[in-house]
């Protein structure tokens, strides 16, 4: 009986550590700092991309957009020149519906896992996207074709078959917490923590790993490659943080999650924005978000600062 209760942590304990729960996040942060009318800009990856291009924020190359069923036939033509590409639903949430093709050979398209798909299967995937299979509430959608991201080789051995991405929580332009999401065999090459990807908490000041978790439990070594996760240090950290910080003025959302990847050639690049970022980042960092958020809330006139000034503050005060 006692063992049952031992699986729970006392709420007072969580309170002292400043851990934020869903209810508080929804009411006090998302409800308060994210105007609802701005959500479509962020839920729709195409709109986010256009915003980013206008604001000068680096994003993956856009090869084409398919927005109607009869355009699906153009798919092969659009991707013919590219060595690899990524099919994405514009309104997909949580990584749903993303198809990454690393090369085409003899009429077959190869996924990162080595699995092959025919053109017909690709077109069916696009049809599904258009019909709204991956969008919230089944609303009809458009398909984006983006250029392939090649991960910086510094991440070799840290992930299994996928491009690792960094999630940064940005509060009123200040990066408050960050983590790296590494795909595993269990997550089938997807950086989805719920499906078994590894989350590595990153210190804001340096981009160095502080802790790693899988399924919310601490791990030290990558389950598939065996590499020591705490040796991870993200290069070009300052530039990455700057892009994340710029997203505040670009989108107007006070509490957002920015997903970035490190491209081999272009450096840090913004993948997408999230108006309702999850709470596992706290477990990955072994830290509650609330003390940092409240510290920023206690500052005045933060909107007058430049992105650099906010970054400096964050790097100084948040380990």
Is 35 a binder of another protein (CB under 8 A)? no
Is 73 a binder of another protein (CB under 8 A)? no
Among the listed ranges 24-32, 71-79, 99-107, 301-309, the one in contact with another protein (CB under 8 A) is 24-32
Structure tokens at 206: 């340096």
Is 294 a binder of another protein (CB under 8 A)? no
Contact 221, 203 (CB under 8 A): no
Place of tokens 């908490």: 201
CB-based burial of residue 196 (10 Å sphere; 0-12 exposed, 13-18 middle, 19+ buried)? middle
CA distance between the termini of the chain: 39
Q: Give the bridge partners for 178, in sequence order.
A: 168, 202
Give the integer Cα–Cα distance in Å for 205 and 276: 24
- 89 or 147: CB nearest another protein: 89
One residue of 34, 214, 282, 307 binding another protein per CB under 8 A? 282
Give the integer Cα–Cα distance in Å for 168 and 258: 5
Is 66 a binder of another protein (CB under 8 A)? no
Is 62 a binder of another protein (CB under 8 A)? no
Q: How far is the CB of 300 from another protein (least distance, A)?
A: 18
Residues of this chain, 77-136, that bind another protein according to CB under 8 A: 96, 124, 127-128, 131-134
Who contacts 67 (Cβ-Cβ below 8 Å, separation ≥6)? 130, 142, 143
One residue of 9, 53, 221, 299 binding another protein per CB under 8 A? 9
Interaction site with another protein (CB under 8 A): 7-11, 13-14, 17, 19, 21-24, 27-28, 31-32, 96, 124, 127-128, 131-134, 138, 194-195, 203, 208, 210-211, 213, 216-218, 230, 282-283, 286, 288, 319
């Amino acid at each position: 009986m006692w063992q049952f209760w031992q699986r729970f942590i006392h709420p007072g304990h969580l309170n002292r550590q400043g851990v934020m729960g869903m209810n508080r996040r929804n009411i006090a942060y998302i409800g308060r700092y994210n105007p609802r009318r701005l959500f479509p800009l962020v839920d729709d990856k195409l709109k986010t991309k256009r915003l980013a291009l206008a604001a000068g924020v680096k994003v993956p190359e856009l090869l084409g957009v398919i927005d109607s069923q009869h355009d699906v036939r153009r798919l092969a033509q659009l991707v013919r020149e590219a060595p690899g590409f990524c099919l994405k639903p514009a309104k997909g949430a949580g990584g749903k519906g993303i198809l990454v093709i690393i090369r085409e050979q003899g009429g077959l398209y190869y996924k990162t896992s080595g699995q092959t798909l025919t053109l017909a299967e690709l077109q069916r995937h696009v049809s599904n996207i258009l019909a709204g299979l991956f969008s919230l509430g089944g609303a009809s959608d458009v398909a984006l074709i983006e250029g392939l991201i090649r991960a910086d080789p510094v991440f070799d051995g840290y992930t299994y078959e996928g491009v690792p991405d960094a999630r940064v929580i940005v509060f009123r332009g200040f990066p408050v917490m960050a983590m790296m999401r590494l795909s595993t065999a269990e997550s089938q090459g997807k950086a989805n923590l719920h499906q078994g990807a590894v989350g590595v908490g990153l210190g804001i000041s340096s981009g160095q790993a502080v802790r790693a978790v899988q399924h919310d439990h601490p791990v030290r070594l990558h389950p598939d490659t065996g590499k020591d996760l705490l040796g991870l240090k993200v290069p070009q950290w300052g530039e990455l943080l700057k892009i994340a910080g710029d997203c505040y003025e670009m989108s107007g959302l006070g509490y957002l999650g920015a997903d970035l990847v490190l491209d081999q050639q272009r450096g840090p690049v913004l993948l997408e924005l999230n108006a309702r970022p999850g709470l596992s980042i706290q477990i990955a960092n072994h830290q509650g978000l609330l003390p940092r958020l409240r510290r920023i809330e206690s500052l005045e006139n933060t909107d007058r600062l430049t992105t650099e000034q906010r970054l400096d503050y964050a790097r100084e005060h948040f380990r």
